[in-house]
Chain A
Amino acid sequence: MPDQLLFAIEVTLNGLMAGVLYALVALGFVLIFKASGIFNYAQGVMALFAALTLVGIMDGQVPFEHLINAVFGTDIHGFGWEVPALLAILLTMVVMIAFAWAVNWIVLRHLVGQEPIILFMATIGLAYFLEGLGDMMWGADIKTLDVGLPQGINTTIDEATFNMFGYGFFIDNLDITATIIAAVLVAVLVAFSQYTKQGRALRAVADDHQAALSVGISLNFIWVLTWSIAGFVALVAGIMWGAKSGVQFSLSLIALKALPVLMLGGFTSIPGAIVGGLIIGVGEKLFEFLVGPLVGGATENWFAYVLALIFLVFRPQGLFGERIIERV
């Protein structure tokens, strides 16, 4: 097999894996938009906050440590214990559920019935607040996240492809793990929405929240539930991205990677987020591989948006989005 073809296959596989990571971020946006019509600008910061909280709990850090020391003149440096990863993840989920409840109680319930742009603006404020809160609670230093996920080249694939083609493919173990986790996550989300009472209520609100209210479904409960699930998805995304780069404040910028995925896959479809992520991942990586060297490289950021725009021209609602038909 020609070298260029082998390289292209390797790039495609890595593109698919990168796409899964983009899709993980996009999923959080989709969940909230589907249930409440809110484009949650804070989704990237939620991933950051969840990851910061997870590391803080694992390392036994005292929340607001710097603030407490500055105000009371104390010299607190952590609880002096370490929390196992699984327990820390559960505790972080409790924090994210509390956060979802607070967002609903303090912000969203006052904005029911407002224009989508108002709700969007509220999430912008929320994003900046959450970033500041994360900074005050856990500090701005870069934190190493180790929840035991494997990283580095998968030697089995490397050796197998080397024996077959004389060139070993690089596939990152972390990407393989992310793919498995994303698949499980989507399966659980689909099962939840299809087979549980709360899931069906969530779908009812997504379809028509006025009708849902009329049959006794609590909008407050559904919104808290949705934001909690989005918080869980944000935690998963935060773990995956944080394992690559350490947990730091630029983690909130991963939201930028989700936007073309949403444009392409549609804002209301979970499968759309996954398929959109895969298309964007493969598309940008292949474009960089084939065309990047001719135009000086660094094409991935803008090409992802070009690709999404091309799809939008033909399907304005996105690949899996709901078609909007307004009859006069």
Chain B
Amino acid sequence: MKKTLTTLALGATLAAGPALAELTFPSLSYRTGPYAANGIPFADGYADYFAMLNERDGGIGGERINMIECETGYNTEKGVECYEATKGEGALVYQPLSTGITYQLIPRVSADGIPMHTLGYGRTSASNGEVFPWVFNYPATYWDGASVAIKYLLDENGGDLSGKKIALVYHNSAYGKEPIRTLTELSEEHGFELLELPVDHPGQEQKSQWLQIRRERPDNVIMWGWGVMNQVAIQEAVNIRYPMDQFIGIWWSGSENDVRPAGEGADGYKALNFHAVGSDFELYDDLEEYVWSKGNAAGAGDQHGTVLYNRGLYAAMIAAEGARKAQEIHGTSAITPAMMRDGLEQLEMTEESMAELGLAGFGPTFSASCENHGGSGRAAINQWNASEGKWEVLTDYIQSDQELIARLVQEDSMAYAEENNIELACQ
């Protein structure tokens, strides 16, 4: 009897588990908790892209995609639990959508030999592939974001920021503090005064910071926020009548969620972005035909075309193209995490390749290498049009100060390598 039960249990487990040749992409999502409003559109875009590939192409290279969704609630401990629970399923790449979870996973993925892609978040200096061979953060990093914001302001001010005052309103966390080093260096180089204004988590009360902004009247405000901090900051800026077109958020402070609660007052607010907005892409036709029209849209299906939905699509597209590249390099469709790493490391996104995917002009072109896991470091400026209720693209992709970023990345990553006795790759 006992033997029969064991056999049945084993059989059931094998039947429920993924087929061995499937390509497994875990989705560490957050559909619940304080950050759910941002986590949902990203997770929906991520899931819909893979569902579309399965329906339209039968997966990637003939292998069907098995996407495992695990709820983190944007909680670092739960994120690590999700990683531990799913890594044994043959996970090819992790995209945790949280800087906190990223920091916890860096040593784990390095030890386990599973790639991690942190799309425009996480540890900036992980863009040095020599020190972080398993971590990728292209197409742009936080430091690129800080540099692009300053370059844009230079452009707006005739190339001269000397004597200007720029305030940085940031989430008082590892994430929020990321741009400080870059902005400090840039303030010395360009002669502007940097006013640092930390906001404690979660950021529901920011009166002190915005009273200070009202008193000190900085020429520009740059924001590094997430979740409720963004909405409150934009509302407070409206309240003190700060000119919205002088207020720029990082790409995590630039979704519809962030501006809508402030209504018309948010008109003119700017934000960086490293991918396109809206739904005017051929890929959207395929999503409609193969996924949405069949009632298979992820979630409620009401996020299509939003900034964070597009970001989820973009993240999934990069993962899929990494897998395709890995299949090409190794001549097999059934790739391992190590092969996936090779694919991500040799990934090249060109105008042609994006057009072929139905995403012409969707993101900046970039090519990765053994040393460079951070991409080209380019981002565009978007501006919120409140009356039309949509983001408008204000600039082309602006190149960050690569010389400065490379130096900072080198210093930080080498210090990490020394601290952790890491042998450099790419030698």
Which residues in A have some Cβ–Cβ distance to B below 8 Å?
7, 10-11, 14, 18, 66, 69, 73, 131-132, 135, 139-142, 144-146, 151-153, 170, 172, 241, 244-246, 248-254, 257, 285, 288-289, 292, 296-298, 300-301
> CB-CB < 8 A to A252: which residues of B?
34
B196 within 8 A of A: yes
Inter-chain CB contacts under 8 Å: number = 114
B3 within 8 A of A: no
Q: A140-B32, A250-B204, A292-B208 are in contact. Are A153 and B260 (CB under 8 A)?
A: no
CB pairs A–B below 8 angstroms (18 shown):
A73-B295, A139-B300, A140-B40, A142-B231, A142-B260, A153-B240, A245-B228, A245-B231, A246-B261, A250-B227, A252-B34, A257-B204, A285-B207, A289-B208, A297-B196, A298-B172, A298-B199, A300-B200
Q: 0/1 per residue, B197-223, Cβ < 8 Å to A? A: 111111011011101001100000000
A132 touches B198 (CB 8 A): no
B62 within 8 A of A: no
Which residues in B have some Cβ–Cβ distance to A below 8 Å?
31-37, 40, 172, 196-202, 204-205, 207-209, 211, 214-215, 227-228, 231-232, 235, 238-241, 257, 260-261, 263, 265, 295, 299-300, 302
- Interface residue from A18, A246, A249, A296 paired with B207 (Cβ < 8 Å): A18
A135 touches B32 (CB 8 A): yes
A152 touches B33 (CB 8 A): no
> CB-CB < 8 A to A11: which residues of B?
208, 211
A18 touches B205 (CB 8 A): yes
A135 touches B205 (CB 8 A): no
A300 touches B260 (CB 8 A): no
> CB-CB < 8 A to A254: which residues of B?
204
A142 touches B232 (CB 8 A): no
> CB-CB < 8 A to A296: which residues of B?
196, 198
CB A131 to nearest CB in B, in angstroms, measures: 8
CB B273 to nearest CB in A, in angstroms, measures: 19
Q: A170-B211, A301-B200 are in contact. Are A246 and B205 (CB under 8 A)?
A: no
- Interface residue from B200, B211, B214, B261 paired with A144 (Cβ < 8 Å): B261
B204 touches A144 (CB 8 A): no
B235 touches A245 (CB 8 A): yes
A170 touches B231 (CB 8 A): no
A191 to B37, CA, bound (A): 41
A7 to B214, CA, bound (A): 11
A122 to B134, CA, bound (A): 44
A17 closest partner in B (C-beta): B207
A136 to B91, CA, bound (A): 30
CB A233 to nearest CB in B, in angstroms, measures: 18
Q: A140-B32, A140-B40 are in contact. Are A244 and B240 (CB under 8 A)?
A: no
A132 touches B32 (CB 8 A): yes
CB A242 to nearest CB in B, in angstroms, measures: 9
